[in-house]
Structure 1
């Protein structure tokens, strides 16, 4: 059983406190939808959990996880940037990230088939549409096995069919004991618990 525990987290970005004293627990088999207005800290929270942003204070731990790996190493972070090289093919980009992140999931061809991009395997990624780029980024969720998925607007640029595929992929992850935190303004297509960050933090005062 995994338990992702946040205790009194405070995050500061660009000279302002984005959120403070945030506490929550997410356990195996849960999907959490992180909500709130623009500037409330949804993306910052996911980046903090992934180890890309340092907390000003508070505690963040994954109980029941791999004691030899950091929390970030046990997370999949899928942000706004799709993180691919345009001159490499779809298959080459996915192979690179699978090797870099450690693999352990399903084979790349099966992942591309599941996300509906198998027919694009030999196409340079720079030619992909926005929706196709998003599906390539999401394919890493399947080729690399990690228990915690941190998804920032995961359905962005996806059509209705692709959103349904992603919903089934996420449902399978939580059904096998995984954890998902997704920052989104829209529905994810599966049962979720809401984590609201409330109102956006005001800008820090400028010194005279």
Structure 2
């Protein structure tokens, strides 16, 4: 379970969201909504422990958390298969062997491309490979920032199908997205949680 209580998060020590609270149980997802610049990415990074909490608490089994952003994390000199093995090894899932890799390759329609070098992939193929990493790291608590960037409609459906499987297997996810993923998940509008104007400042807002 992920438990967030009265959370204040910010960028450069300047609060952008305050009083945020919610619970996501195993098998559930939560979709974060709000206009550009409101602080969705800042909130996700704070939940994942990549930047400090200004106030409040975030509780979940930290060894089970993983954050995926717009960056695909692709090693251009490795093949698709080698990329997946690299990330499995980093996260301690390498011992699961070929089963994890085969499952990830199939889930994201990468079997026919598995021997292609990462540096030769299109933007959409790189995104699919970046998401396939999630299938080999064996982490239950996922923080996903716009996971469908660069994906076509078919690939979005592949991701949504994989995500439903992740949830059915007891995982959970908090996701920022501007599209309908076709999954049964509540949405949280962050607009009511904007920090007071005199606390926020303006120089960083375009990057939140």
Shorter-chain TM-score range: 0.7 to 0.9
Q: Could you tell me which residue of structure 2 aligns to residue 33 of structure 1?
A: 31
| Residue pair 1:18, 1:39 contacting (<8 A) in 2 also | no
Residues 146-174 of structure 1, C-alpha deviations (whole Å, 9 max, x = no match) = 11111111111111111111111111111
Give unmatched runs, 5+ long, in structure 2: 204-208
Supply the distance in 1 between the matched residues of 2:115 and 2:26 (Cα, whole angstroms). Answer: 37
2:92 & 2:202 partners in 1: Cα distance? 44
In the alignment, which residue of structure 2 is the partner of 1:45?
43
Matching residue of 2:206: none
Secondary structure of the corresponding residue to residue 139 of structure 2: coil
**Any stretches of 5+ residues in structure 1 without a counterpart?**
66-70
How much is the aligned-residue C-alpha RMSD, in angstroms? 1.9
Candidates 198, 201, 206, aligned match of 1:204: 201
> SS of 1:145's equivalent?
coil
Alignment of 1:127-142 (within 5 A): 127-142=120-135
- Name the SS of the counterpart of 1:80 in structure 2: coil
Paired residue total: 196
CA contact (8 A) 2:13 2:54 kept: no
Residue 87 of structure 1 pairs with residue 77 of structure 2: yes
Distance 1:46 1:170 in 2: 18
Say yes or no: does 1:97 pair with 2:97.
no
Partner of residue 7, structure 1: 5
SS at match of 1:107: helix
Query: For residues 75-105 of structure 1, what are the alpha-carbon distances to aligned partners after superposition, in whole Å with 9 as ceiling and x for unaligned?
Result: 1211011112212211111111110012177
The normalised TM-score by structure 2 is 0.87
Range 83-92 or range 126-135, more displaced: 83-92
Runs of 4 or more above 3 Å deviation: 199-203
State the TM-score, normalized to the length of structure 1: 0.87
Structure (1 or 2) with the greater helix fraction: 2
